[in-house]
Amino acid sequence: MIKRELYSVEGSKLVRQRRFCPRCGPGVFLAEHADRYACGRCNYTEIKKETKPKSEAPETKTKSAQKPKTEAKPKPKKEKSE
């Protein structure tokens, strides 16, 4: 019901690079696998476009603009270290 409240942030970079399920609609994320996305709800599967056979000669791929600036933010751990 109030699910939208969780996504109401737009200008604060809270947007995640996650895919929504086209079948279930926004709100249902696709689980990201190595080479595909999968919806655990309706079994929808979407193959990633960058699926290259990695059995050939090693490609000299330069890490340039593959992903948007994703800074690894330290997540607050809720573990008891006692």
Give residues in contact with Zn ion (CB under 5 A): 21, 23-24, 39, 41-42, 44
Smallest gap from Cβ 7 to Zn ion, in A, equals 17
**Residue 11 or 25 having the CB closest to Zn ion:** 25
Q: Exposed/middle/buried for 4, CB within 10 Å: 0-12, 13-18, 19+?
A: exposed
**Residue 14 or 42 having the CB closest to Zn ion:** 42
Smallest gap from Cβ 36 to Zn ion, in A, equals 14
DSSP state for residue 4 in the 8-state scheme: G
